[in-house]
Structure 1
Amino acid sequence: MKKSWMIALGLAPLIAGCSVFETNVVPPSPALTGINAQNAAWHSQIKRVQDGEAQFEPLEDARDAVAAAEAQRDVDNYGSDELAGARSALEEAEQGWQSLANKRRPDNAKLAEVAEQAHRAQRLAEIARYTAIREINLETLIAVNDKLKAREPEQSAGSAAAGAVRPISAADRELIGQKVVPDQFGDVSFETGTARIKAESQATVRQLAELLKAHPTVGVAIFGHTDNVGPSSESIDRFVAANPGLEEQAPTREDKVRAFNLALSAARARTVAQQLVENGIPARRIGARGFGDTRPVASNDTAEGRRANRRIEAVIVPGPDSPEARRARSGS
């Protein structure tokens, strides 16, 4: 494997959520609605159990979330950084709570700190767990998609997927394997160098959402792709500054461009996924992954070819509750 591939793929967990692309799909911390109201809310979540020991509900929720993440298969491969952060935040919350648990009226500021760390632990644990679930499913979905593409010369588009997968609904079965974006609904375009969807592409996302609502037994895999052209030197510098681990590997400019394109494609795929969620599609039915410039469909030597390579693909796949997806998760 080329060094540039190693750098780009090795940094994928680090750069996937880079803010340089102006996208944010991580839920924020609970917003304060007034100091007195918030303090009262924290105190109301302190419960006394039968033996007199005090329990703090945000801390209990964080413990449950971390335990669930630790039990998730392959979380160490796909969500290790988030899980480590969750454990660290939980440890801080535990330590802070130990000094408050036996006090009749805990200090408001310290209680708020414990709550904040507990919420942070919970969020990071949930991100770790669902990242692992998504990535496990995507490995299967990508394999299915590649298999369907290999069969395309032999079968028509309407029947290519008929023998590949069998989701619950007979009507939905016809959709499996279809690349509805861009083939049916058109392209999804972004502002240059960002993960902001252009206004004219919003209709495409809404059409995809309506399709998914009408066919509840299927899911969708969102794949982001770029051409091999790099951004401006200024954008590269901002990107490297936002990802110090990249510079430590002494990359060439080609390596930086490939890493940038990989991160940009992932950010764009996640933006589409987030907008589907905002249009009412459950997140568990959506997978998102970026491939950078590694899967061109045309030559990058021409403007037309590069335009074709800058794309979002949305492929209809078995839904998470279908027998196929369940078998994939269980490994059978």
Structure 2
Amino acid sequence: MPTLDEIKRPIAAEIDLFEEKFKKSMQSSVPLLDRITHYIYKSKGKQMRPMFVFFAAKVCGGITEATHRGAALVELLHTATLVHDDVVDDSHERRGFFSINALWKNKIAVLVGDFLLSKGLLLSVEHKDYNLLEIVSNAVREMSEGELLQAEKARKMDIEEELYFEVIRQKTASLIASCCACGAASANASVEDIERMRVFGEKIGIAFQIKDDLFDFGHDDVGKPRGIDIKEKKVTLPLIYALKTCDRTQKRYIINLVKNHNEDAVKVQEIIEFVNKTGGLELAEQTMFKYQEEAFEILRTFPDTEQRRSLEQLVRFTTERKK
């Protein structure tokens, strides 16, 4: 499978230009803010979300100035939510770097998140990109609702497959859906094509999150530490599928481990082994590939071009990545 850099090659120049513009979009006259946003820029991730924006635009007609603004808007609002998430979760690390709240405390981190949010909103309003603003604002609303829904159900330990998919659709898939919809909208695509791209992105986002959940039950050499979801009392698809295979007594026992012994390394390992032995991983992986194939079916309704094939490669990367 091609590396992410190889997949990015057709839009490498656009991504480089985007990064310059994104860095400028975070600038402030307040020295402290400038220091923090420079730190955020240095610790940025793989830029997969902007890549979805640019490739979607290419498939739907071509990259424009609005595409760059759409990518910046997505990244500004996404970064704001990450900064706020680290405060909520009391997390001190993000992508191998110290989180903003770890270095500058919670009050500063919340204000920085608010600043990034406002910069994204202003970027769209100043250029009258109201369609892009509507797309991304809806995604942020859904992300917030998804987090609250998950928090509410985590307390009650409600374990329903339908609920799991609703949570990840809102929490993760809505943002990738907004990337693809923004790309299409920035290329002046039709309302129908924008919606097709949105649904395509949503299916990829669901597959992406299932892949992330699989890492939690996988081997030690993956990027995500094992058992993190269990320690946070998150009931994910591999565990849901595993619980379907056991009787009521064993199900109560495993749920009790997740609910009351999630900090015990031995008990966490017992849950991981239970999921592995009962086929929960295999079933979850099959579901992930089902969503990937449904996304490909949508993508194949667009003309067969080099741009579409590049987007297909990016999709495969999301489900075949090692971390």
Task: Give TM-score, length-normalised by structure 1.
Answer: 0.24
Larger radius of gyration: 1
Larger proportion of helix: 2
Task: Give TM-score, length-normalised by structure 2.
Answer: 0.25
The higher relative CO (CA closer than 8 Å, separation ≥ 6) is in 1
Larger proportion of strand: 1
